[in-house]
Chains A and B, each alone.
Chain A
């Protein structure tokens, strides 16, 4: 069914995490009959098990909705669901580029949060019509007046422009759809012009190759058409195209303004880049569409298979994950302690966590992850610059001119009563205060510049615990700055363990060395021998702890009937050791490699 351009609306739903974005999407699908009652389930657009379990959206999803509005006309609405977490804001920005409007969901019990602000700005930057809505008005804790005030401050929207609703009960959902029809402008494009489509996402299908998610900007695309990706010059024939309903529904043609998918049989994801422009070979458009910034990983960690011989399985698994996760990067790495693995780059800690969990779950790998770190720029005395993604590879102090580390511009939104606690936290993390503004008499938005390296530790947890869960955080990369940093090494039983090395600010190096050695002593169970844990900077030992030797570990009785039981117990213990890493004579449990994440905040701050 062909719909004229002025009856198409492309929009996104954006929100701070947990503000009810996916629930609103569910209700819209239900109300418009896009999904039958029978097939309806919660978080319908979140396809991954992990998304459902964690109640979050990781991957953007698109769906076409046919909606008969109150003016009696039939509209085609293309809804693009987006992730809410700061790690995945690049997914949001890509999706927004395929839309003309965005529904900004704000939890009426929470008010405006950091990602609400970030998403609102993103929408404005993309020239989108913003439809602010207050969700969860059915909850007793909802404070509509206060939330309205905050939304007004943020977006300038007047009270009658802000829709109140409950995605849970369905109240107000029709009003949202009517607002989309009335306020979101229809797409503008040359219906008869040279065809152009923007790839805003892609997915890899084992059997069919790359599935490109596209928004047709000009002209139209049909089956068997010969196309080209402008950026990569990859040429192909369209094998299948169609729209999301929400499953893929094949169609003959995708017209101007429509959102859908294109399958060409191209297997190489690198050839179908997100942000690239699809054009027709026969009627080749001259100019590409405005694409996206390439995403750069911000956080790195080493991933090693616990069983060394499974290295190639890990590589295959990463190759496959990468197909659907453009932001993931990885390069082979070898560690004296852990053998062969990969230094992987992620958008943030949640992203890292999710990739690791998917590798373990979907590919049945037992992994050991090292402490996350950022990318340092080491300026050498000979004028070279080295990018250091693994602390163990920081050049020795003698060759260093200076070191730079990434900073972020962070915004924290918090009730006024916690401002002091937030300042204290930020000061302890080498943060530089920029400014502070009142969103309302009760809530404040604080701006800081701080080293990303401080955030990748437990900053977010601290932020939440020191504000009783009320603070929200958003940040973006803000360039590199010179810092006085040193490498802290850990020795176990006299042997350096490269995987435990850290880059730390010089003035805190001693305290962290002490705290880390102490934490490792707690994390590493007693061995058959006494084991010394030492923290060193250069050749200087700054802390030493001792893991005592096991003194008794033997069953009292072992007679005829006990032998089988006892043997099985020992065999089981042996198997259990596979979760441990043997470093020289020391058996180290996985958690020990993340010990630094658990350092007491006091130990870090002094």
Chain B
């Protein structure tokens, strides 16, 4: 059976309760990352000054959006990056103070945190604030972290211990599988560590080698082995997908046995500990994003601040609370009704949420449903449709099959 029935998409006029803040800075770029981020040394004077100016600009944009959107109550805040923890406690504190008046009593505030930024002071601050800390571990195996081009200095186990000792009650770890040279045994070691630490939340992503990243270059040059190659007769180019499937199945099986719920393709949580911010985004709720490259989805509009830090700082360089600050340059996309319906379907495919048939009927290839139901990939009952756990592993292909061919119906996708 599918998950709980997802509420209908909010009409554009409803207020916005979810805030995303992008912090596009890192100490160094990891080899696999293609997110928008700049390398910054917060210890150096120039770095510190840049971060201060950035915080000013963020607060200016927040003020602007607060007034424009009439933000009144924030249920979730997510500080993502980049490396938000790199801002350091004083700047983070300054940011949270500005948001504080709008936070509901049970608001979920997440800070993506790098293990190297966690010391006892940071842990104590996070615990005191009741923050949800999402720790970027990638792997507990140092060699695998090196393969990813991550810092091998910081010890994620020590960071987890510090957070636990400080009383941080909502910890998540971010992990990656399918790292070059990682085999099932190496994966089992990471799984054992996770189950031992028992964080409230686990995000475990398959490594995607994005074109243009240093990792992609190294793989192409043959400096890193991609993992055991299948040479069996049946290899039809899907060998990599088969190995990824095997790893993900192992993760799901082990984490579920340990009491985690697999609530999204790459996310697992103990009871009641799902990330509320991301869940809201996946339900299609409105959210506003601050910072360069941040995305907002507001009713029929999706907009993205351009990924240009300099320009962002320049445009928003006005005193906090001032009214003359201009909005940062953005690109905007209008989400037509069929587009929103398709997105609803694709997001529901990732979470297993039930979707009322009436909402997706115009974009749904009805004839495709029965065979998918027979194959156990899709469920249908009580006027709702959902993608099963089996279907979740092949959510792309299921969605492509479920989408009605827009050309034939005259509602072009582009």
Q: Which A residues fall within an 8 A CB radius of B?
A: 307, 309, 521-522, 525-526, 528-529, 548, 550-561, 563-564, 566-575, 577-578, 585
Interchain CB contact (< 8 A) of A552 among B245, B281, B282: B245
Which stretch of B52-60, B221-229, B343-351, B353-361 is in the interface?
A: B343-351
Interchain CB contact (< 8 A) of B278 among A307, A559, A566: A559
Are A570 and B346 within 8 A (Cβ)? yes
Are A573 and B400 within 8 A (Cβ)? yes
Number of interface residues of B (CB under 8 A): 56
Are A526 and B238 within 8 A (Cβ)? yes
What is the CA–CA distance of A307 and B339 in the complex, to the nearest angstrom?
23
Known: A552-B242, A564-B302, A578-B407. A559 touches B398 (CB 8 A): no
What is the CA–CA distance of A294 and B268 in the complex, to the nearest angstrom?
74
Smallest CB–CB gap between A552 and chain B, Å? 4
A526 proximity list for chain B (CB < 8 A) = 236, 238
Interface string of B221-257 (1 = CB under 8 A from A): 0000000000000101010011011001000000000
Which stretch of B89-97, B315-323, B371-379 is in the interface?
A: B371-379
Are A528 and B397 within 8 A (Cβ)? yes
B276 within 8 A of A: no
B164 proximity list for chain A (CB < 8 A) = none
B282 proximity list for chain A (CB < 8 A) = 558
Are A552 and B346 within 8 A (Cβ)? no
Interface string of B168-188 (1 = CB under 8 A from A): 000000000000000000000
Are B375 and A528 within 8 A (Cβ)? yes
B152 within 8 A of A: no
* Closest B residue, CB atoms, query A548: B234
What is the CA–CA distance of A585 and B374 in the complex, to the nearest angstrom?
11
* Closest B residue, CB atoms, query A577: B400
B401 within 8 A of A: yes
Are A557 and B397 within 8 A (Cβ)? no
Among B206, B302, B401, B406, residue most surrounded by chain A Cβ atoms (within 10 Å): B401
What is the CA–CA distance of A548 and B245 in the complex, to the nearest angstrom?
14
* Closest A residue, CB atoms, query B404: A574
* Closest B residue, CB atoms, query A552: B245
B342 within 8 A of A: yes
27 cross-chain CB contacts under 8 A: A526-B236, A529-B371, A548-B238, A550-B238, A550-B397, A551-B241, A551-B242, A553-B396, A554-B350, A554-B393, A554-B394, A557-B205, A558-B282, A559-B80, A559-B278, A559-B281, A560-B295, A563-B343, A563-B346, A564-B333, A571-B403, A571-B406, A572-B413, A573-B396, A574-B406, A577-B405, A578-B405
A558 proximity list for chain B (CB < 8 A) = 265, 282, 346-347, 350
Known: A570-B403, A574-B405. A554 touches B339 (CB 8 A): no
B406 proximity list for chain A (CB < 8 A) = 571, 574
Smallest CB–CB gap between B310 and chain A, Å? 20
What is the CA–CA distance of A526 and B278 in the complex, to the nearest angstrom?
32
Q: Which B residues fall within an 8 A CB radius of A?
A: 20, 80, 205-208, 234, 236, 238, 241-242, 244-245, 248, 265-266, 278, 281-282, 287, 289, 293-297, 302, 304, 333, 339, 342-343, 346-347, 350, 371-372, 375, 377, 392-401, 403, 405-408, 413-414
Smallest CB–CB gap between B260 and chain A, Å? 17
Are A574 and B413 within 8 A (Cβ)? yes
Are B297 and A567 within 8 A (Cβ)? no
Are B20 and A560 within 8 A (Cβ)? yes
Among A556, A577, A585, residue most surrounded by chain B Cβ atoms (within 10 Å): A556
What is the CA–CA distance of A562 and B166 in the complex, to the nearest angstrom?
34
Are A553 and B295 within 8 A (Cβ)? no
Known: A556-B208, A557-B205. A528 touches B398 (CB 8 A): yes
A528 proximity list for chain B (CB < 8 A) = 372, 375, 377, 394, 397-398, 401
Interchain CB contact (< 8 A) of B394 among A525, A550, A572: A550
Among B205, B347, B400, B403, residue most surrounded by chain A Cβ atoms (within 10 Å): B400
Given A563-B302, A570-B342; 13 other pairs, CB 8 A cutoff? A552-B241, A552-B394, A554-B393, A560-B287, A560-B294, A560-B297, A563-B346, A564-B295, A564-B302, A569-B396, A572-B413, A573-B396, A578-B405
Smallest CB–CB gap between A403 and chain B, Å? 36
A554 proximity list for chain B (CB < 8 A) = 265, 350, 392-396
A555 proximity list for chain B (CB < 8 A) = 208, 265, 396
Are B242 and A561 within 8 A (Cβ)? no
Are B302 and A551 within 8 A (Cβ)? no
Are A556 and B339 within 8 A (Cβ)? no
Are A561 and B238 within 8 A (Cβ)? no
Among B207, B295, B394, B407, residue most surrounded by chain A Cβ atoms (within 10 Å): B394
* Closest B residue, CB atoms, query A557: B205
Are A570 and B396 within 8 A (Cβ)? yes
Smallest CB–CB gap between A182 and chain B, Å? 65
Are A553 and B342 within 8 A (Cβ)? no
* Closest B residue, CB atoms, query A571: B413
A550 proximity list for chain B (CB < 8 A) = 238, 241, 394, 397
Known: A529-B375, A552-B241. A574 touches B281 (CB 8 A): no
Are B397 and A575 within 8 A (Cβ)? no
